[in-house]
Structure 1
Amino acid sequence: MDDTFKFAEWFRGSAPYIDAHRGRTFVVLVEGEALREDHREPLIQDLALLHTLGVRLVMVFGVRAQACAALAEAGIDPRRLQGREVLDDDAMTVIEAEANRLRLALEARFSVGLPNSPMHGLEITAVSGNLVMAKPLGVREGVDFSRSGEVRRVRADAIRRLLDQRALVIVPPLGHSSTGEVFDLDAADVARCVAVELRADKLILLGQAHGLSDAQGELKRQLTPQEAEAVHFDRVAQPELARQLDAACAAARQGVARTHLLSWRDRDALLGELFTRDGVGTMITHERYEQLRPARLEDIGGMLELMLPLEEKGVLIPRSRERLEQQIDDYRVIVRDGMVIGCIALHRFDEARMGELACAVVHQDYRGGERGDLLLRAVEDEARRRGYQALFALTTHTSHWFLERGFRLGAPKELPDTRRVVYNVARNSKVLIKALD
């Protein structure tokens, strides 16, 4: 009787949440370790339950645990740099096999409808596909990352159509390029990008940690991105939590209303977080207010801070404060709550009727949305107002981004004379050119 009473009370208390979640879009990341055969079944059953309750569900899965074991068995030990593996074709073959094996296993488990299972009578259509487009990480610190990549674009409209058809969408940590290659992606970043592009109501990240805790070990229930980033923990000892926290904070800043950090080790974490008043993990809520405007002298400190990580990686050429002060009229910035989160420059070559697009940077926590395109449009509009016929850019890392936006590969000889004479041959930057109509 007592157990029946407790269940009835819980069910009554969960009713408002069931109604509130119906028709909402949730993106759920499940790390690979949580999907080992010996303990993945309860989690799959809970995801199936969410689907039957009317949640529009996208499941992003990790494959790190499975891939590491398979690579070791194959005698492959990829080099690790800047938090990512340097993957050649042999390593990628192993990872693709593990990702496909796990994807098929998930589709099979979502199809279970045996009379003695919690999914009896359910008919779930689980669908995957080439839903994430990727680009190579490129050359970093002189090292070619080869088949390690990052998200270029999420095919959000295709995912929405599948959700409209009541499908449960499964997204692996792999991305396809416009040249037909497959790249290894960070699963947490995939989940973030999918959630942002879908304008998801929730991004739920299931890892080993129960959430964020303070120095006394007390779980922090609700935080802003700034508060979450101020919580100290050993990022080296807990790399998974570090990746998930970065993704959660970035997603919150990019418009995802609620992001949640939960532990798959807690059998009831997913349902407990979604259908109880207090929840069981850490929730991070988004903030608002930002604007694109011409840069001011008081922005220079924030611009230098924004550029520094890319300068240290060799993506950007270092710029001094004095140089920025002299060229401040060339810059546009995106400012959010007083913080510079994006910038771009249009350096003028009036005699050639060309402009150089330079220093296009978006803070790492705010990437994946439309801010890069917003900055590009601002520069293009300014160039057209000045009567320029073309824009050019020099890059060592982001040529795919420019090519995707109508630029073509050029040569140093096509640069304006005054720019060509200072072209750094040793840096060997690619020249990208876009005609302006």
Structure 2
Amino acid sequence: INEPILGADGNVAYIINTTTNITEQILQKQATERAIQLEEILTHEQVLNEELATANEELQAINEELQQSQQDLALLNTELEERITNRTKALAESEAMMRTAIASAKLGTWFINVETREFVSSARTKELFGFYPAEKVSYEAVINQITDEYRSEVINAIETAIQYGETYDMEYPVIGFHDGKLRWVKATGKLYNAEAKKQPHFSGTLIDITEHKMEEIRKNSFIAIVSHELKTPLTSLKAYVQMLAAKAKKAEDPFTAVALDKVNVQVKKMTNLINSFLHISQLESGMIHLDKTNFDLVELIQDRVEEISLTTKGHVIHFQPCKPLLVYADEAKIGQVINNLINNAIKYSPKEKYVDISCSNVDGKAQVRVQDGGVGILPQDKNRIFERYYRVENNQTKTVSGFGIGLYLCSEIIKSHNGEINVESEPKKGSIFYFNLPLSQV
């Protein structure tokens, strides 16, 4: 510490300096500070050690979980390998069984690439089209072996199935390329959409149905011949019955006249049945002829209702006419469809029930509906009601005669006119049969 001393004149005469030794205090302070710092370091290290210990524990737990996961993955991998092995083995066995089944059934297989139209076929398919097993065959070459009358229909069916994913199922004749042999085949197939590493393709099977088809053709020919032969005596019988009925009425013999009217009704039934068999044989042989003309469908319905009403007792047939519906169709065959639907409504309805017939223009098509209050149709029967020779078998239908050909014939006639036919029905509540026909463009 410096302290100035003043003289008599008031100026600093000298300075007194006092010095104190504080080394020990400074050292003590520095030691205290180092101790505090060391304590802080030790405290921080302790915290770090505790955090490190916690981290080690967590790391050990994670390591144990990883070890468990690795064990689980190893087990899962082993299980997956076993599954893949088993499925691969099962698939191989299934493919072997399928190949055996295909070979036993003498099925041909084929494959069409949807994008490139590349055609791959089995040796059996080539054989059915008259090619050699080792011969390379294109799609066009196979199509060319289909007979002229079926070729366009088959091509259209294939293209439709590919475009819209519909099921392909057709029967058609082919001429063998090398052997010139006529064969009938049944082809079925479907569209398979693109999958991993696989392009979309259309594939299926082919089977030889020549023997079955020829037997069917012979049967249809026999039915056609017999039906034709029966028509001649029936026509004569009908003429004689009508002549005798007229004579009985003139002679005022009511019993004979009524009896002959009943005979005439039965003759008409036999004639209709024979005509049905004839039409079926013509349909199945592809020889049915449509004599199309423009006519008013409403007038045809009215004529058929009046004709059936004359011979129907116990049922009331009611027709609600609509505006004229001009169609271009075979009038006789459409009349046969209307007859069949009305007669069926009468057969399957209790007496004193109404049969309602109506017509209308639905979305530019002529629609005819025949409704009855009969026994109705079960759902499982509805799906097959238009099949050939199919009859609903139950307690209510046991007493109703028939061969199961009427609705099949109706369906085929309407389809041949590019129309549709269907049924709505509930058991014990009756049925509504209806069909649509394109309106005439005239």
Q: Indicate whether the TM-score tops 0.5.
A: no
- Between structure 1 and structure 2, the one with the greater Rg is 2
Q: TM-score, normalised by structure 1?
A: 0.24
Q: TM-score, normalised by structure 2?
A: 0.24
